[in-house]
A and B are shown apart, each in its own frame.
Chain A
């Protein structure tokens, strides 16, 4: 009774999870990693095929004549422009234009959609659906999901799936079959690499896992936990609710809230779309007047950091995983923002961070300094504002 839920893949993931480092994710157990170090899992994402159990994602099926109208009203995207089989990434805001949550919208047919979110949003959706002909069902437990990420994933899917996935474009979805079982496959992910998400009925979870692992063996497949994914998503410049921003519905004070513009989601805010949507007026104003904050990429200057550590006779010591902790950012002696996630990038051989900076310091090329702890002492390491994402392989969208 006092147990967290387990996902439909638990029988497999629990047998493989050597360090037993379960994390809580939306009330479920999620494997932190499957091995004692993250290297192999990280590189499975970047060089082979990573199999990640993302079943804890909260999922809603939104169905009915007014389903599109509801999503058009709640999210910042122009849902009426969305074709069947398309997937949109989107945030959604409160009336003040501040982000509540973010996720993907998939259009199955004219009147059926799936929405994913990090936190429960049923009440918010219902409140916005007053008077609409729409049915909202949470399917989190019924739909198992695997994120399958990495440059070799297409080759594996082409073997295991009934229909080839070669034609499946970035942010599109297809119905398919694996081992005779119906699945939907979307060209989406949270790693910034080539990747797919496979959605299936919870009862079909294990045979699909087994098939992918069996065939994927020749392509370097590895089960991957959320710790390695966390490093990859920072490289991809992707943020996370409750880590990199606070939901407007949970914030205690105004400064804790963020607008989509402040999070770099300008491209998802369709101010040209017809009709009302939640937060429209505030977002229009912010667009006109400009944002006072912005989430940017920071690259810590390695030589500068090395010097700080050398000062106490140490080689640079930074954690080999993503750190979800706030680090102050300075220009001169004035704090101008904070980093919300920082990580060593094994691929770029750089120490990078997602940071929130005040105007005008968020311009690309700005020299700032980030607080690091050197042998118990707080020091400022030189860093530079860079364009996001930090890493984008050519095959991500191809």
Chain B
């Protein structure tokens, strides 16, 4: 029988929990990771929903996975391969398309085709965004500073202290200030005139938020997504071998090799508190585990409002967590296909093996208005009739995702509000699936007859399966009032919590969502700094 005594217990076997576990084990600690489901990986899982077709069910691209985690944990030895996702194509309502390719000149010529002015602005815009992302990126690895000396409006001050930011010109600081406050629509309209370009760029400003491109604050989210692109030749945007499950699978394998015990089907009931300190956890099955510290890699609401009795936290803290925004706004439709959808804007002949479009993303984002209208539906509790879609074809990037000659397709769909009028049920799920298929059908008429199987995931399903409250893909929206030293709450952004011995290292903590593993790594380092005391 395994002893139930550990140095550290980690609640949640998602990628952050596994990263934290691996780092602690690497420092010689005895660690157990508790996972509620029958597989580890959290929202980064790959499951064979239909025989032979592998679905990267929730998260589907990798951008910000920290390279030092890859090196420190030797993830390539454990199977990690991040395959390039080289392009984004936006089919347009008039039958044309806009392509962004992995070659700068090709992309410039392509934008030029639609707007010579935008082609030029594009370069300058990319430079401004890259400089801004570069200035902000070092902060990702910082432990958020003591917030007591900072207020929200000191965000600019925080940026200024960054080593990189010090080199920015006034003009660039101005650009960052704008990014922090503007809507993505306002920002993009200052730069561009071509609708499909603006629509596609604006789309990355709304992902994972319950906001539209005309809502203030979305320009920052756009920047957050831009960070994956500044590594130049190291091209960080990609699709992992075997999908997102390949990422967590490699971390799981590395963690196990380092001695981490991973318990599956181990649902946590409560954190055990003695003398004002977290000393272990009680599982739903009645088992009790004890440890020097407990770290939660679950979402902030579960971490603070479910696993721990509220009496152990200050009222103010509980209120702040209750107000933490975790509105799920997106769903996922995963489709098994007998053939690739053939987009009329850029059709392929034969089986489409050499179709450049299918090696990258296809974005249904013909204009800012299109996305804003999709948001209008959601604001009032409806599924977008014509949603924004971000589609990739995993089997074209990693042929092992589907049987030879067959394909899988992953559609990120926004908006699908968590708080749907009338609530989520099978009929509503079908409605979401149909909204997606009929939208794609406008651009690729063969889609419907190519469908072999389809899985529709609503925010409620994200909550039920992946265990993320509200079904928000970032465990909490990346809003300006919920990032850096304000994530998850103003007082507690350094991975510690008001409860001694209880730590928090997940997407809902600094630096936020995306499969980056930074929160898990940084939290583990803070735990070690405290000496497990």
Q: Enumerate chain A interface residues (CB-CB to B < 8 A).
A: 36-37, 39-40, 43, 46-48, 152, 155, 217-221, 302-303, 310, 313, 315, 317-320, 344, 346-350, 391
Question: Are the C-beta atoms of A39 and B102 separated by less than 8 Å?
Answer: yes
Q: Given A47-B81, A347-B81, check contact A39 B235 (CB 8 Å).
A: yes
> What would 17 more interface pairs be, CB under 8 Å, given A40-B359, A317-B232, A318-B233?
A39-B235, A47-B398, A155-B404, A218-B404, A219-B399, A220-B398, A302-B68, A302-B71, A310-B163, A310-B164, A313-B167, A315-B134, A315-B230, A315-B232, A320-B234, A348-B71, A349-B234
* B163 neighbours in A (Cβ, 8 Å): 310
Q: Within 8 Å of chain A (Cβ to Cβ): is B15?
A: no
Q: Given A302-B71, A315-B230, A315-B231, check contact A37 B86 (CB 8 Å).
A: yes
* A37 neighbours in B (Cβ, 8 Å): 86, 102-103
Question: Are the C-beta atoms of A347 and B76 separated by less than 8 Å?
Answer: yes
Q: Which residue of B lies closest to A36 (CB)?
A: B103
Question: Are the C-beta atoms of A349 and B83 separated by less than 8 Å?
Answer: no
Q: How many Å from the CB of A313 to the closest CB on chain B? A: 5
Q: Within 8 Å of chain A (Cβ to Cβ): is B70?
A: yes
* A318 neighbours in B (Cβ, 8 Å): 233
* B68 neighbours in A (Cβ, 8 Å): 302-303
CA distance A313 to B167 in the complex (A): 7
Q: Given A37-B103, A317-B232, check contact A218 B353 (CB 8 Å).
A: yes
Question: Are the C-beta atoms of B230 and A319 separated by less than 8 Å?
Answer: no
* B353 neighbours in A (Cβ, 8 Å): 217-218, 221
* B359 neighbours in A (Cβ, 8 Å): 40
* A319 neighbours in B (Cβ, 8 Å): 233
Question: Could you pull out 28 A-B pairs where Cβ atoms are within 8 angstroms?
Answer: A36-B103, A37-B86, A37-B103, A39-B235, A40-B86, A43-B83, A46-B81, A47-B83, A47-B241, A152-B399, A152-B400, A217-B351, A217-B353, A217-B354, A218-B404, A219-B399, A302-B67, A317-B233, A318-B233, A319-B233, A320-B232, A320-B233, A320-B234, A346-B234, A346-B235, A348-B71, A349-B67, A349-B71
CA distance A315 to B68 in the complex (A): 15
* A217 neighbours in B (Cβ, 8 Å): 351, 353-354
Interface centre among B67, B82, B400 (most CB of A within 10 A): B400
CA distance A220 to B241 in the complex (A): 13
* B52 neighbours in A (Cβ, 8 Å): none
* B103 neighbours in A (Cβ, 8 Å): 36-37
Q: Within 8 Å of chain A (Cβ to Cβ): is B106?
A: yes
Q: How many Å from the CB of A273 to the closest CB on chain B? A: 36
Q: Which residue of B lies closest to A156 (CB)?
A: B404
Contact of B84 among A36, A40, A220, A310 (CB under 8 A): A40
Interface centre among A48, A219, A220 (most CB of B within 10 A): A220
* A344 neighbours in B (Cβ, 8 Å): 233-234
- Going nearest first, the 4 A-B pairs with the smallest beta carbon separation are A320-B233, A217-B353, A220-B399, A218-B404
* B232 neighbours in A (Cβ, 8 Å): 315, 317, 320
Q: Within 8 Å of chain A (Cβ to Cβ): is B157?
A: no
* B276 neighbours in A (Cβ, 8 Å): none
